[in-house]
């Protein structure tokens, strides 16, 4: 009888408030666990993104090795050629391709290397196109003289649209000697961005549009999620020397018109 009496008191002592408090405690613990898992997941995605950028950086190195130290243009649109940096370096991501790539080989190459151009944190849809999460800081020949000097406030990505190509016509026969940026022109490769992240529905593979970028304000234009949900508000930057830095966009500089434009320019020490 005494044991039964104490049991009844124990059960009667668990009030609704006690149960709600216990449930709230379990909920809080659950939310902490979920937040920790999400943070760990984003940390891994940041790392995978940096790994993709390093792989792309090596492809640029291999391209330059085969092209007399030249970087590919960010965009080239002439009467006979339309290309962008991703098209130019793609064969170097699939090294078993032959020198003369057939249409079938190019299609297979596109399918094989496409995932390397996508940051795993980039969830923005591309309306059926393959995502490209990266872009080259622009060297705009409409705004800057050629060739660049050490004080140039332009980036590494030459934007060669049709009008720019025309001014480099050598003869009336339409022979064109296009400007190129060589890695040897860059005095501070560790402080000069080769690729920056650019999250937008319009940034799609194998297309000139959005292959080069002018400012920090153009880096994040996602419609389906916020900037704070992407790399915890930061972005990865691939430098010309091959290393990757995770920075707040404002830390990178970026053609803000202040005279201090950071890693986006050829100019050293800014």
Helices 85-93 & 103-113 angle (0-180, nearest 10): 90
E strand intervals along 161-266: 193-197, 212-213, 235-239, 244-247
Low-confidence ranges of the chain (pLDDT < 50): 1-2, 5, 9-11, 33, 35-37, 172, 255-259
Does the model's pTM come out above 0.85?
no
Q: What is the pLDDT of residues 12-21, one digit of tens each?
A: 555 766 666 6
Q: What is the pLDDT of residues 243-267, one digit of tens each?
A: 999 999 988 986 444 445 689 999 8
Q: Which one, of 151, 141, 136, lies nearest residue 188 by Cα?
A: 151
Pairing of strands 235-239, 244-247: antiparallel
């Amino acid at each position: 009888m005494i044991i039964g009496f104490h049991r009844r008191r124990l059960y009667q002592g668990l009030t609704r408030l006690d149960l709600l408090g216990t449930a709230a405690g379990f909920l809080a613990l659950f939310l902490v666990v979920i937040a920790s898992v999400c943070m760990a997941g984003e940390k891994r995605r940041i790392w995978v993104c940096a790994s993709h950028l390093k792989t792309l950086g090596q492809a640029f190195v291999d391209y330059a090795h085969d092209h007399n130290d030249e970087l590919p243009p960010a965009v080239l649109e002439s009467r006979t050629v339309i290309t962008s940096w991703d098209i130019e370096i793609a064969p170097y991501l699939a090294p078993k391709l032959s020198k003369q790539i057939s249409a079938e080989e190019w299609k297979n190459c596109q399918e094989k290397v496409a995932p390397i151009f996508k940051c795993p944190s980039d969830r923005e849809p591309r309306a059926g196109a393959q995502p490209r999460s990266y872009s080259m800081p622009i060297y705009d020949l409409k705004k800057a003289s050629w060739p660049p000097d050490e004080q140039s406030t332009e980036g590494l990505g030459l934007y060669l649209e049709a009008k720019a190509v025309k001014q480099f016509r050598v003869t009336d026969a339409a022979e064109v000697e296009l400007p190129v940026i060589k890695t040897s022109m860059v005095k501070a490769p560790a402080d000069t961005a080769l690729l920056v992240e650019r999250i937008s529905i319009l940034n799609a593979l194998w297309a000139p549009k959005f292959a080069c970028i002018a400012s920090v304000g153009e880096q994040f234009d996602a419609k389906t999620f916020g900037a704070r949900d992407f790399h915890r508000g930061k972005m990865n930057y691939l430098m010309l020397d091959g290393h990757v830095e995770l920075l707040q966009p404002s830390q990178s500089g970026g053609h803000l018109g202040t005279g201090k434009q950071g890693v986006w320019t050829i100019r050293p020490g800014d």
